[in-house]
Structure 1
Amino acid sequence: MWRSVASNALTLFIVLLVVAAGLLALGRERFSGPGPLTEAICVRVERGDSLSAVSRKLEEQGAVSDARIFRIGADYSDKAAGLKFGSYLVPPAASMSQVLDILTAGGQSTCGREVNYRIGVLTSEIVLRELDAATNSFVEVAKFDPAVAEAPAAYTELAGEDDLRWRVTLAEGVTSWQVVESLKRAEFLEGEIAEVPPEGTLAPDSYEVTRGGDRAALVAEMAARQSRVLAELWETRSPEAPYETPEEALIMASIVEKETGIPEERPQVASVFVNRLAQGMRLQTDPTVIYGITKGEGALGRGLRQSELRRRTEYNTYVIDGLPPTPIANPGRLSIEAALNPADTDYVYFVADGSGGHAFGRTLEEHNRNVAAWRRIEAERGQTPPVGVQSD
Structure 2
Amino acid sequence: MTKLFLKIFTALISIITITLIVGYWFMQQLLIYPQQHVNLTSSTTITVARGNTAIGIVHKLEKQGLISDAWKFKYLVKIEPQWAQIKTGLYDVFPSDTLADVLQRINRGEEKSFALTLIEGKTIKEWLHTLSTTPQLSFSDDVFNQILIENGDDSGLPEGKFLPETYHYHAGDTAKAVLSRSYKMMQQDLQQAWQNRDADLRLKSPYELLIIASIIEKETSQATERNWVAAVFNNRLKKGMRLQTDPTVIYGMGERYKGNITRKDLREKTAFNTYRINGLPPTPIAAPSKASLFAAANPAKVDYLYFVSRNDGTHVFSTNLRDHNNAVNKYQRNQK
- TM-score strictly above 0.5: yes
Distance 1:26 1:226, change over 3 A: same
Structure 2 residue matching 1:93: 3-state secondary structure: coil
Describe how 1:202-351 pairs up with structure 2 within 5 A.
202-204=162-164, 223-234=183-194, 237=196, 242=201, 245-260=205-220, 266-274=226-234, 276-277=236-237, 282-289=242-249, 298-301=254-257, 304=261, 306=263, 309=266, 317-318=274-275, 323-324=280-281, 326-340=283-297, 347-351=304-308
Q: Tell me, which stretches of 5 or more residues in structure 2 are unaligned?
A: 147-152
Residue 358 of structure 1, CA deviation: 3.2
Tell me if structure 1 keeps the 8 A contact 2:144–2:179.
Answer: no
Residue 101 (structure 1) aligned with residue 104 (structure 2)? yes
Q: Which residue of 2 aligns with 1:124?
A: 129
In the superposition, the TM-score normalised over structure 2's length comes to 0.65
Over residues 186-242 of structure 1, what are the superposed CA-to-partner deviations in whole Å (9 max), with x where a residue is unaligned?
A: xxxxxxx97623653344457769999798x8886664343233235556x465772
Q: Which residue of 1 aligns with 2:157?
A: 197
Structure 1 residue matching 2:330: 3-state secondary structure: helix
Residue 59 (structure 1) aligned with residue 62 (structure 2)? yes
Inter-partner Cα distance in structure 2 for 1:181 and 1:97: 40
Residue 82 (structure 1) aligned with residue 89 (structure 2)? no
* RMSD of aligned residue pairs (Cα, Å): 5.1
Q: Which residue of 1 aligns with 2:316?
A: 360
Match of 1:372 among 311, 329, 333: 329
Structure 2 residue matching 1:42: 3-state secondary structure: strand
Residue 91 of structure 1, CA deviation: 1.1
Equivalent position amino acid for 2:317 in 1:
G
Residue 246 of structure 1, CA deviation: 2.8
Q: Which residue of 2 aligns with 1:139?
A: none
> For the pair shown, which has the larger CA radius of gyration, 1 or 2?
2
Tell me if structure 1 keeps the 8 A contact 2:91–2:112.
Answer: yes
Over residues 277-311 of structure 1, what are the superposed CA-to-partner deviations in whole Å (9 max), with x where a residue is unaligned?
A: 567754322334555x56xxx34426556576567
Tell me if structure 1 keeps the 8 A contact 2:235–2:303.
Answer: yes
**Higher relative contact order at CA 8 Å, sep ≥6: structure 1 or structure 2?**
2
Distance 1:333 1:19, change over 3 A: farther
Inter-partner Cα distance in structure 2 for 1:41 and 1:209: 15
Inter-partner Cα distance in structure 1 for 2:226 and 2:106: 44
In the superposition, the TM-score normalised over structure 1's length comes to 0.57
Inter-partner Cα distance in structure 2 for 1:244 and 1:41: 53
Distance 1:370 1:21, change over 3 A: farther
Structure 1 residue matching 2:217: 3-state secondary structure: helix
Inter-partner Cα distance in structure 1 for 2:216 and 2:271: 18
Tell me if structure 1 keeps the 8 A contact 2:113–2:170.
Answer: no
Tell me if structure 1 keeps the 8 A contact 2:308–2:316.
Answer: yes
Residue 253 of structure 1, CA deviation: 0.8
Inter-partner Cα distance in structure 1 for 2:303 and 2:323: 12
321-330 vs 367-376, which deviates more? 321-330
Q: Which residue of 1 aligns with 2:150?
A: none
Distance 1:305 1:338, change over 3 A: same
Distance 1:259 1:12, change over 3 A: same
Structure 2 residue matching 1:124: 3-state secondary structure: helix
Tell me if structure 2 keeps the 8 A contact 1:27–1:69.
Answer: yes
Distance 1:339 1:371, change over 3 A: same
Inter-partner Cα distance in structure 1 for 2:178 and 2:87: 29
Match of 2:136 among 144, 165, 170: 165
Query: Which has the larger strand fraction?
Result: 1
Inter-partner Cα distance in structure 2 for 1:210 and 1:346: 52
Equivalent position amino acid for 1:124 in 2:
H
Distance 1:83 1:307, change over 3 A: closer
